[in-house]
Amino acid sequence: MTTTTLPTASEAAPAATPSGAGKDAAAIRLSAAGLIRSEWIKLRSVRSTVWSYALLVAFSLGLAAIMSGSLDLQGADVSMVPAANQAIFVAQASTFGVFFGQLIVAVLGVLTISGEYSTGMIRSTLAAVPNRLPALWAKAAVLFVATFLVGLVSTVGSYLVSSAVLSGKGLHASLFDPAVLFPVLGGALYLGLIAVFALGIGTIVRSGAGGIAVVLGIVLLVPIVLQMIPAAWATSLLPYLVSNAGINMFGLMSFSQVPIEWWVDLLVVLGWLAAGLAGAAVLLKRRDA
């Protein structure tokens, strides 16, 4: 480290020392790894992140418990239920929280960037990373990984909760049954992706309230509005909405008459994400900070 002696706040006469660059000065430069680390520090050091993730896990586990606990078999013989159907029910209980979780992580995604705009932090960020886009990519990567992992904790946790409750009622399914594992992974993946989509929107809008309104509008409102339009085109658009594709992807609900492959849904979600991030990148690069 360079050890130039500068006058400290309490010290009087400054000792003039050469502004010597230390031995490891060459190692001090912008790097992708550094930007990732920086964004990770930023993400974990604000309360909104901690709150959002805690809520996500709590909601998921709670909803899994409610959904599996409220299943009333009315004395039916569960041994007659095919294993495939048992697995589907366990999967539904395990991923039910994703419905609500997507709203929480969407808000978090917007706040991750709008918080920088509202506080002026963005100027510090962009002064350190004057090419700007690497900072956006790092932010997106960190947000995706963190949200995916917390999402996984909540879906796997929800599986543990619901399978514990349901096994008491005679319903069994292994986590590694593809009918369970795919939704559990897919739900977490979708949470990570929708958070990054929201980050893109937040970067475009630059305001917390505005960004949240736009994202929740796209996630919640547009599907409802389209469903209310009694026209064929509206119905045929439904599977291509980001939230519908995301939910279809982990097999909780279908919005299309013909079954859609999970990878098509994934592409649809990625398409929305790419559009959001592309808009964010263009504007971030072009606008004055």
Partner 1 sequence: MIQAQSLTKRYGSKTAVDAVDFTVQPGKVTGLLGPNGAGKSTTMRMIVGLDQPSAGSVTVNGKPYREHAAPLREVGVLLDAKAVHTGRSARNHLLAMAATHGIPAGRVDEVIELTGLASVARKRVGGFSLGMGQRLGIAAALLGDPAVLILDEPVNGLDPEGVQWVRRLMRHLAAEGRTVLLSSHLMSEMALTADHLIMLGRGRVIADAPVADIIGGAGSNTVRVRSPQATRLATLLAQPDVTVTAGEQDTLEVTGISAVEIGEQAAGAGIVLHELTGIGASLEDAYMALTQNEVEYRTGGSAELQEAAR
Q: What 3-state DSSP class applies to 277?
A: helix
State the minimum distance, in angstroms, from the CB of residue 205 to partner 1.
18
Nearer of residues 42 and 206 to partner 1, judged by Cβ: 42
Nearer of residues 121 and 220 to partner 1, judged by Cβ: 121
State the minimum distance, in angstroms, from the CB of residue 150 to partner 1.
19
State the minimum distance, in angstroms, from the CB of residue 35 to partner 1.
6
Q: How many CA atoms lie within 13 A of 184 on its CB side?
A: 29
State the minimum distance, in angstroms, from the CB of residue 200 to partner 1.
20
Torsion of CA 40, 43, 46, 49, to 10 degrees: -140
Distances (CA, A) of 182 to 9, 210, 242, 247, 249: 58, 34, 19, 12, 9
Q: What is the C-alpha separation between 178 and 186, in angstroms, rounded? A: 11
Nearer of residues 64 and 113 to partner 1, judged by Cβ: 113
Residues lying near partner 1 in the complex (CB under 8 A) = 1-2, 4, 6-10, 12, 14, 16-19, 21, 24-25, 27-31, 33-35, 37-39, 41-42, 45-48, 115-116, 119-124, 126-131, 135, 286, 288-289
State the minimum distance, in angstroms, from the CB of residue 31 to partner 1.
6
Q: What 3-state DSSP class applies to 11?
A: coil
Q: What is the C-alpha separation between 209 and 202, in angstroms, rounded? A: 9
Nearer of residues 275 and 283 to partner 1, judged by Cβ: 283
